Structure 1
Amino acid sequence: MSLRLLIVDDSRMSRLILQGLVLQAHPQWTIVHASSGEEALQLVRENPVDLVSMDFNMNGMNGLEAALELRKIQPGVPIAILTANVQTAVQARIEEAGMAFIAKPVTASAASQLAALAGA
């Protein structure tokens, strides 16, 4: 199964680590990167995606704000918020918004949890 994954993180290293882990298990996937919520929204307007990994703490709009805006463009897309911010209140806000919470650091397990959202 080939799909288009959008990785949104202001850390280039985090994006590359997650990309590497995902492509090890799913080499046929297309990976698209954005370094901010605003950039992610522009990318999705131009070309829809099948799955989104979104960092929470970023400059400008945070990941949850960006994800909620992204859902207005692509209502059904699965979104996971990957963050080191593991506060219960943050997790609850993410889950109430109908998104998956995945704790950083980015690991093979995190990549597997992300892939599972797409049924892979």
Structure 2
Amino acid sequence: MTTVLVVDDSRISRMLSRQFLLQKQPTWTIAEAASGEEAIARLDNVTPDLVLLDLNMPGMGGLAAVGQIQAKCPSARITLLTANVQDAIREKAESLGIGFAAKPITEDRIEQIIAEFGK
């Protein structure tokens, strides 16, 4: 059973991610968090295989949460899903060993993330 943790301060973004993930993988379990802090707390009860992580959130942003998520769930694949598509952000994601996907969240974008996860 694959579990995905969707971390985004936008409820609409979380809903779209959930919808598109379940359209492609209806047996997957989807958990949600609205901030980096909430994501870290959710790891006490959820062990994600895949984390979709927004960059800019109030409080702890995505990049600040990466290290803690990796420490608690070292086998989880993390993809930064953000509208901030600057080269520096892409390079930072790469240096952290995480994926990068540009918003907006679309069915095709989620399909690409799922395909990368399967590799």
Q: TM range, normalised to the smaller chain?
A: over 0.9
| Residue identity opposite 2:76 in structure 1 | V
Aligned to 1:91, the other structure's residue is in SS state helix
Spell out structure 1 runs of 4+ moving beyond 4 A. none
* Corresponding residue for residue 101 of structure 1: 100
Q: Which amino acid aligns with 1:40?
A: A
The one-letter amino acid of 2:21's match is: V
**How far, CA to CA, are the matches of 1:101 and 1:20 in structure 2?**
20
Aligned-partner SS, 1:79? strand
1:11 alignment partner in structure 2: 10
Report how many residues are paired.
Answer: 119
Query: Does residue 32 of structure 1 match 2:31?
Result: yes
- Alpha-carbon distance in structure 2 between the residues aligned to 1:117 and 1:48: 19
Shift of 1:47: 2.3
Query: What is the match of residue 91 of structure 2?
Result: 92
Report the equivalent of 1:119: 118
2:42 corresponds to which residue? Answer: 43
Alpha-carbon distance in 2 for matches of 1:104, 1:59: 18
Percent identity (aligned): 42
Q: Would the aligned equivalents of 1:81 and 1:101 in 2 still touch at CA under 8 Å?
A: yes
SS at match of 2:51: strand
Three-state SS of the structure 2 residue aligned to 1:92 is helix
Letter in 1 for 2:22: L
Relative to the length of structure 2, the TM-score reads 0.95
TM superposition score normalised by structure 1: 0.94
Structure 1 partner of 2:80: 81
Q: Equivalents in 1 of 2:39, 2:115: separation in Å? A: 21
CA RMSD of aligned residues (A): 1.2
Where does structure 1 lack aligned partners over 5 or more consecutive residues? Answer: none
Is the CA contact (8 Å cut-off) linking 1:78 and 1:117 kept in structure 2? no
Structure 2, unaligned stretches of length 5 or more? Answer: none
CA distance in 2, matches of 1:118, 1:87: 23
Contact residue 78 and residue 118 of structure 1 kept, 8 A:
yes
Instruction: Give the aligned partner of residue 66 of structure 2.
Output: 67
